[in-house]
Amino acid sequence: MQWIVAYDISSNKIRNRVSNILIKYGYRIQYSVFYIPEASRKEIEDLKEIIKPLINPKTDRIFFYPIEEITVFKGYPIQPWDIQIL
């Protein structure tokens, strides 16, 4: 399955750490948005467990959007089918 991961993290240090983790799984498509082309739900759950201790739930957000076949409109992937929020 393909995924879009977007985050809003207040700390520069933590934001960079999360970015460095996500770059190992996929491609940056915007400053705080990544496209992960091939990952099972289990792999995403494992990724969440890696990132979760870094996130401050009071100030930070990270969103995992599973997508089926990626549809691109004017350069932007669209059609998230299910939204998961960590």
Q: Where along the chain do its domains lie? A: 2-61
- CA atoms of 35 and 28, how far apart (whole Å): 6
pLDDT reported for residue 55:
94
* Helix residue ranges per DSSP H, the chain: 12-22, 41-51
- CA atoms of 71 and 79, how far apart (whole Å): 7
For the domain made up of 2-61, give the CATH fold: Alpha-Beta Plaits (3.30.70)
20-24, 38-42, 65-69, 75-79: least confident range: 75-79
The pTM assigned to this predicted structure is 0.77
Q: Give percent of the chain above pLDDT 90.
A: 65
